[in-house]
Structure 1
Amino acid sequence: MVSSMPLRDAGVAVCAAVALAAAFPKVGAAWLVPFGTAALFWLWQRASWKRAALLGWLAGFIFFAIDFAWVGHTVGHYIGLFGPFLAFGPAAIEAPFFALAGALAAIAYARMQADVAPLGAAAAFTICEWLRSIGVLAAPFDQLGYTQADSPLRVVAAYAGTYGVTFVLCVLGAYVADGLVRRTWRPLAVVAAAVCMATAAAWIAWPARRLPPPTIGVAAIQGNIAQSFKWNSLGLAVRRYTAMTRAAGTARPRLIVWPETVITTVLDGNPPLLTRFSNLARNVHATIVAGSLSGGFRSLYNALYIFSPSGGYVAYQKRQLVPFAEWFPGRAFLSWLPYVSALNGGLTPGTIDGVYPTQALQIAPLVCWESAFSDLAYAQVRRGAQLLVVSTDDAWFGTTSGPYMHAQIAQLRAIETGAYVVRAAATGISGVIAPDGRWLARSRLSRRVVVTGMVGPRVATFFSRIGPTTVGVLLVVLYATLLIPPHTLPADTGEWPDAR
């Protein structure tokens, strides 16, 4: 593919990909995003749609290969030396969305009015980001909007979600590129001024900035049991999490959250453990959310057990499974491939957008991968959830960029929904996030620690009313509308042309 492109354009595509990847943890240079997108739009504005698609594919493959490098660590112990090359798999799957973005952007530049074509190109990129983030095979990591979790632009997520943040970043980049290509900077100046004023107005009106002090105590337990022997250490996990929960109970929290699958057995098939944890919740006078498994031979679920201090419990079953890990698409047809059996978790997805009353608040459980899907959190908030509870096993990521990227995603879920987030990760990062995306308490990686904090009720956001699908559809409508040629007036009369 590269041989069919001028070397310069291929080099620009690679540089754009590297810049965008560097905006994410661990580098975290969020300011690079408008420049990385500007490089892409500069290429696409000057190319045919076919050429733009090729350049987009190249940039996308490099970008995702860098940012999905943690995949090699995640399953590396299963396949040894081949681990580092696994990032090429998701990169190859996701890169076509960059190719589609390039093709749609090139069409926008060719068919839309010059001054609004960058707007259409930005919409095209964001539409493709939305499309790759929906469905059972979706991988919504690496949305550009996540990079702004700690920047003033994060406020946009309260109104238009993470896709809205991505769109603003792309608009800025597209108009920078437009200025370079057309040698006119007036459109960029107008757009930049509009973005600054709109962001300032949104910031001033943002309810999350004026919250009353939170009063409900919570705790996240980070037991720090290494992934390499987690599945052979049930006794250790039970003892450690029981002891840490008792220690956390001295602070009188009303909610205590354990990480995903820390109890490595089918818990509803183990009555002694169920009784033990029910008694523990009663003894510490707190609701305990514990990660384990539920079901049986035919249907095995990744589950969170919610133990009430009154003695009862209910199990939430994870809805969005990790493809090629917790389940393998087309396994029956691909079983001949090496490592398919080793990488397939054989789990069944849950079907309920669970919202559960506790003595703290109504909670919305999100298990690991689910926290990356804004539509799941949106559905639970619409059902009355007041607090997001993220339980995750980020030990799979080791000390790569993965845990930092995943924690950053939780910040955007807090901003979008206007809810506090309690996040418990097996080896970190655990903590409490405010509705404005700030960490109120946060752990470090690879530490055994109890993180405590305070939470309060959710505040309303515009995004929690409209949801991510509405944002995606509006972007499609914007793109399609800008493709419609404007009516022109005859220069001599100023009247509309005769319809005859």
Structure 2
Amino acid sequence: MPHRLRDLLLVIISAVLLVLPYHFDWAWPFAYVAFIPYFFALNRKSSGGAFKYSYLFGFLFFCFLGYWLIHVNVVGFIALAAYLALYFAFFGLVSVRFLYPADETERSDTRKAIPAVFFIAAFWVVGEYLRGWIASGLPWALLSYGQWKNLWVIQISDITGCYGVSFFVMLVNLLIYKILRMPKTRLAAVAALILLGSVLTVCAYGLIVLNIRDSFYKSASAEKKQIRVSVVQGNIPQDQKWDRKIKNIIFEKYKRLTFMSATEKPDLILWPETSFPGYFEDEPLLAAQLRSTIRQAHTDVLVGAPTLGDLERGLQFYNTAILFGPDGEERKRYHKVHLVPFGEFVPFEPALGFLRKFFAIGHFSAGNEKTIFETQTRTQNPNRKFKFAALICYEDIFPGLVREFCLAGADFLVNVTNDAWFGKTAAPYQHAQGSLFRAVENRVPVVRAANTGLSCFISPEGRILASVKDNGKEIFVTGHQGYTLTIRKTPSFYTRFGDVFVALMFLLCFLAYRHRSKHTAYSEV
């Protein structure tokens, strides 16, 4: 088989193996070998060749991953995949120099080959972190997210954040590759020992933490702080969501679900993102009906609604979560602070505003305050107060942003979202992967209220405790679900100190650059 065709097949195999865990929760083990065919394909490649094959790897991965974006915009989907593939390309460009150094003796020299493995894993983490910041950021489908069902491994996130899990997965790939590449050598033996030690350390930490935390939940209930929360899932198709002819039908649906939830006596009911059918200030009759509904339900209700903000400061559009008390009166608002570029606004509007002629893009403004809501129990241990933050749409995929809400005092997190755009695909589950990691990182429960699903309750350990279901289906079904959350306010290392692990990865990259620069300088003498 020609080398080019073989290498092309290896890259395709890697892309398929890597994307499987994001579509099938049972497929998480594939992530630990997904990069190995790709690493073999990089053998004897120049920097340019490594860049091309790595770009192809990334482009195929993001196409296989986010095919559901074609339901929104085909051109945008291709453009986004082409952009995100650049992170793979630069990873390949840098890592090939350490994976296959020009001096072939370095490849089998344990003192140089093993540090190179850690350098390459660090490069990957730095790339993921930058992807979450550059051009507004899109930390979707990080390498760690494919492990969302691997409970033992993801527990390290409360120290390292999700990036520590990404580092671990990449490290395993690299060590297995080294063992396969040079079997029966001292390098392979050392790599095997490091692999075994890494796996045992990570899994042991996860097992110990889970046992400690589970023992707390099994303790006497009198010691626990609990609050009952209910979510409603309206299941409004995207093509009907803003049809003014049926706005009353949509409202009645949410009204009925609210009353059904209220029979379970929750302390808080959650409506999804923009579930109120119209701009709140433009619909006084529906707003009055909403207040009446909440008074009858006699509980706190958080409603997602588009709003116009303070009209005295000029017309501005916000994606908002509004908390109403049992008396139907508004308590507090949160305006979404991290907007979707080219969805809710156009970045660099003066230069790129022309895109509005070709695509339907919103005119939303970003909020400037990280609001913390307060609710209280009414049935179980009455008058216990709890604080929570409402993350709107994809705000839950940003680790740093969510951490700020937790630092501000949130006892639990809420994600109100609308994933109806993407049809009956893996998109809602990929979105929920981010929520799950935010729960583990900050050791707080996360409650998701999604228009068409996945609406669920996630424990601080990353378990999905309950979800809205109908005949076993979780997405594109109508329903409601309640759950009693147990609150244990113990800020994690990650919550207190942030991305210390990422800082160490940047330091490793700097040391790698210094090491390579010195080696190059000596070789030229």
Q: Does TM-score exceed 0.5, indicating one fold?
A: yes
1:60 to 51, 58, 61: 58
Residue 485 of structure 1, CA deviation: 4.2
- Number of residue pairs aligned between Structure 1 and Structure 2: 474
Equivalent residues in 2 for 1:333-344 (5 A)? 333-336=351-354, 340=357, 342-344=359-361
Q: Quick one: distance in 1 between partners of 2:153 and 2:330?
A: 43
Which letter does structure 2 place at the counterpart of 1:460?
Answer: P
Distance 1:43 1:209 in 2: 44
Following the alignment from structure 2 to structure 1, what is the Cα–Cα distance between the partners of residues 432 and 209?
26
Deviations 1:59-114 (A, max 9, x none): 001101111111011x15xxxxxx3x643211111011111111221233339811
| Equivalent AA in structure 2 for residue 239 of structure 1 | E
Taking the TM superposition and a 5 Å limit, the aligned residue runs for 1:390-401 are 390-401=415-426
1:131 maps to 130
CA drift of 1:272 comes to: 4.0
Q: Give the structure 1 partner of residue 70 of structure 2.
A: 72
The match for 1:103 is 93
Structure 2 residue aligned with 1:289: 302
Gap runs ≥5 in structure 1? 77-82, 487-500
Partner residue in 2 for 1:494:
none
- Distance apart, 1:421 and its partner CA: 1.0
Aligned counterparts, 1:10-29, within 5 A: 10-26=8-24, 29=27
The Cα offsets for residues 325-371 of structure 1, whole Å up to 9 and x where unpaired, read as 1112344444555x645421111111222211111520111011111
Specify which of 472, 480, 492 is matched with residue 510 of structure 2: 480
Per the alignment, residue 364 of structure 1 pairs with 389
Query: 2:113 matched to 1:114?
Result: yes
Distance change (3 Å), C-alpha of 1:27 and 1:413: closer
CA contact (8 A) 1:260 1:367 kept: yes
One-letter amino acid matched to 2:362: G
Q: How far apart are 1:16 and its partner, in Å?
A: 0.9
Aligned to 1:194: 197
Q: Structure 1 residue 217 and structure 2 residue 228: aligned?
A: yes
SS at the partner of 1:29? helix
Residue 209 of structure 2 corresponds to 205
Q: Using the alignment, how far apart are the partners of 1:27 and 1:253 within structure 2?
A: 31
Q: Return the alpha-carbon distance in structure 2 between the equivalents of residues 292 and 198 of structure 1.
A: 46
Secondary structure in 1 matching 2:113? coil
Query: What displacement does 1:37 show?
Result: 2.0
Query: Is 2:362 aligned against 1:345?
Result: yes
**Is 1:164 matched with 2:167?**
no
Mark the CA change 1:340 to 1:93 in structure 2 (over 3 Å): closer, same or farther: farther
Which string of whole-angstrom CA distances, capped at 9 and with x for unpartnered residues, describes residues 267-294 of structure 1? 1444444443334334323221111111
Paired residues for 1:317-336 under 5 Å: 317-336=335-354
- Provide the residue aligned with 1:259 in structure 2: 272
- Describe the shift of the 1:387–1:46 C-alpha distance in structure 2 as closer, same or farther (beyond 3 A): farther
CA drift at 1:484: 4.3
Deviation, 1:6, is 2.7
Measure, in 1, the Cα distance between the counterparts of 2:204 and 2:53: 37
* 8 A contact 1:24–1:405 mirrored in 2: yes
- For 1:143-154, list aligned pairs within 5 A: 143-151=142-150, 152-154=152-154
Alpha-carbon distance in structure 2 between the residues aligned to 1:182 and 1:354: 55
Q: Deviations over 1:383-408 (max 9, x none)?
A: 11111101010111110111111122
| Paired amino acid for 1:224 | N
SS at match of 1:227: coil
Deviation, structure 1 residue 34: 1.5
Tell me what 1:249 maps to.
Answer: 262
- Which sits farther off after the overlay, 279-288 or 153-162? 279-288
Gaps of 5+ in 2: 378-385, 469-473, 517-525
Percentage identity across paired residues of the two chains = 28
* Coordinate RMSD, CA, aligned: 2.4
Offset at residue 460 of structure 1 (A): 2.9
Decide which of 466, 470, 482 is 1:452's aligned counterpart: 482
CA contact (8 A) 1:41 1:173 kept: no
Mapped contact 2:144–2:162 kept (Cα < 8 A)? yes
Q: What's the offset of the Cα at 1:456?
A: 2.3
More deviation, 369-378/205-214? 205-214
Residue 36 to residue 300, structure 1, CA distance change in 2 (3 Å): same
SS, match of residue 436 in structure 1: coil
- Partners of 2:142 and 2:179 in 1: how far apart? 25
Q: Output the CA distance in 2 between the equivalents of 1:472 and 1:418.
A: 19
Q: Given the alignment, which residue of 30, 38, 44 partners 2:36? A: 38
Structure-1 residue corresponding to 2:252 = 239
2:497 matched to 1:466?
A: yes
Task: Give the TM-score, by structure 1 length.
Answer: 0.88
Give the TM-score, by structure 2 length: 0.84
Q: Distance in 1 between matches of 2:43 and 2:369?
A: 45
- Give 2:169's aligned amino acid: L
